[in-house]
Structure 1
Amino acid sequence: MNATDVPLRERIRTFADAVRSHLDDLPADEVEDIIDGLTADLAEQASDGGGVLDLGDPAAYAAELRSAAGLPERGEPARGEPLGIRMRGNLQELAESIRRHKFGAWLLDLFSALRPVWWVLRGLALYFLLHSVFGSSMGSATPDTLLGWMLCAGLVLVSVQWGRGRWLPHSALRPVRVVLSVVAVLALPFLLAAMLLPRVEYVYEGPSEQRGLLLDGKQVGNIFAYDEQGELLDGVQLYTDRGTQLNLFGRGRSIEQEGWWGLGWDGEHPVRVPYQDARGDDVWNVYPLRIGEVDLATDTLREATIEEDAAPFLRAPKRFDPSAPGDPSALPSPPASDPSATPGAPATPEDGGAATPAP
Structure 2
Amino acid sequence: MTTSTVTPEIVAFAQGVRAALADLPAEEVDDLTDGLEADLAEAYAEDLQRELPDPGAYATELRAAAGLPMRTKAKSGVLSGLAQSWTDTRTDVGVAIRRNPALASVVEFLGELRPAWWIVRAWLAAWLVAAFFGNERGYGLAGSWWLVAVVFAVISVQWGRGRWQGKGVPALIAIGNVVAVLAFLPVMAAADDGSDGGDFDRGFASGVDATVNDPPQDGLLLRGQPVTNIFAYDAAGKALRNVQLFTQEGKPLEAHGSRSDDNTCAADDCSTVWQPGQLETGQSVFNVFPLGTVAAEWDDEAQRTVPKQGAFSVVPKAPFLKVPGVFTPKKVANSND
Q: TM-score over 0.5 for the alignment?
A: no
User: TM-score normalized by structure 2?
Assistant: 0.39
Structure possessing the higher radius of gyration over alpha carbons: 1
User: TM-score normalized by structure 1?
Assistant: 0.38
